[in-house]
Amino acid sequence: MEETQNLEMAKADIQSIVSNSEVIYEYSDNFVNKVICGDSLSVMKKMPDKSIDLVVTSPPYNLKNSTGNGMKANTTSGKWAGNALQNGYSHYNDNIPNDEYAQWQYNCLKEMYRLIKDDGAIFYNHKWRVQDGLIQDRKDIIRDLPVRQIIIWKRKGGINFNPGYFLPTYEVIYLIPKPNFKLAPKANAYGDVWEFMQEMKNEHPAPFPVALIERIISSTTSKIVMDPFFGSGTTAIVAMALNRQYVGIELSPDYCKMALARIERNKIKSEVVTNKTALLF
């Protein structure tokens, strides 16, 4: 009951910042250039096959599921000190048993794969970690999906006060394409280790850096780009700057609101400093 009331309040709040119907709460066939406020798996299940060119996404990492070295709320020392995700997401606790988490993410990836066209691709960002002495290299999520390449995103920034660990500085991006996917001309020269600063100026606890998403989208000739874990809407604001269309799915009404306000701001002044070659498509 309280949740319904919260959603109704969030809807009213959201409608006060967007003048048109850019946000939807139920699936509709008219999903292009929309923020869909709901559960990504249920929404994707309703979408038609091959309706998207590119998926760019970073799911919740299940970081609060821990055997000792994981993230705890309000930590002021140790590996997770100062991490913006300590208190989790607004409407998702990021803490489920690992098997359940891997199954959920695999189901999501299968839907994303169904939704991309024969020349489409998924760029799926995740993090490898060691938990309880076991390597979590996310094979349990990826399973039979056709990974073509793993890109290393070398992050700068971050602080680590734990003397037992080297400062973690990388994440991975799985390129999972359909067979006919090709990069945009010359994009292959970027190589497979990309260095981008972590995003600092964003209220969302785990936003993509704008430049990272610009690298991904501009490396493709995609027209419709979807992010099923949309957060603050970085994928949309880059898609808009590169003259592509977007579809965003986000569970939290607070982050939907944050993303919609950001999209409105970007219509007036884009955050993306576009590189001219990226605009060839």
Ligand X SMILES: C[S@@+](CC[C@H](N)C(=O)[O-])C[C@H]1O[C@@H](n2cnc3c(N)ncnc32)[C@H](O)[C@@H]1O
For residue 118, the minimal CB distance to ligand X (Å) is 26
The residues facing 125 across adjacent strands are: 173
Q: State the Cα–Cα distance between residues 237 and 265, nearest whole angstrom.
A: 9
**Residue 77 contacts by C-beta under 8 Å, 6 or more apart in sequence?**
161
For residue 167, the minimal CB distance to ligand X (Å) is 20
- Map residue 124 onto helix, strand or coil: strand
If 0-12 CB within 10 Å is exposed, 13-18 middle and 19+ buried, where does residue 8 land?
exposed
Contact stretch for ligand X (CB under 6 A) within 21-29, 75-83, 84-92, 161-169: 84-92
Q: How many residues bind ligand X (CB under 6 A)?
A: 21
For residue 249, the minimal CB distance to ligand X (Å) is 5
Q: State the Cα–Cα distance between residues 258 and 250, nearest whole angstrom.
A: 11
* DSSP state letter for 280: G
For residue 250, the minimal CB distance to ligand X (Å) is 5
Assess contact for 170 and 138: CB atoms under 8 A: no
The residues facing 171 across adjacent strands are: 153
The reply to whether 171 sits near ligand X by the rule CB under 6 A is no
Radius of gyration of the chain (CA): 18
For residue 90, the minimal CB distance to ligand X (Å) is 7
The reply to whether 136 sits near ligand X by the rule CB under 6 A is no
Contact stretch for ligand X (CB under 6 A) within 86-94, 142-150, 216-224, 273-281: 86-94
**Residue 190 contacts by C-beta under 8 Å, 6 or more apart in sequence?**
215, 219
SS (H, E, C) 182-215: CCCCCHHHHCCEEEEECCCCCCCCCCCCHHHHHH
For residue 183, the minimal CB distance to ligand X (Å) is 22
Kindly tell me which of 70 and 161 has the beta carbon lying closer to ligand X: 70
The reply to whether 116 sits near ligand X by the rule CB under 6 A is no
Kindly tell me which of 117 and 262 has the beta carbon lying closer to ligand X: 262
Which parts of 242-281 interact with ligand X (CB under 6 A)?
A: 249-252, 255
Which parts of 50-79 interact with ligand X (CB under 6 A)?
A: 58-60
**Residue number with the smallest Cβ distance to ligand X:** 231
The residues facing 197 across adjacent strands are: 156
Which parts of 193-232 interact with ligand X (CB under 6 A)?
A: 204, 206-208, 229, 231-232
Q: State the Cα–Cα distance between residues 216 and 242, nearest whole angstrom.
A: 11
Among residues 23, 31, 34, 89, the one that binds ligand X under rule CB under 6 A: 89
| Chain contacts with ligand X (rule: CB under 6 A) | 39-40, 58-60, 89, 91-92, 204, 206-208, 229, 231-232, 234, 249-252, 255
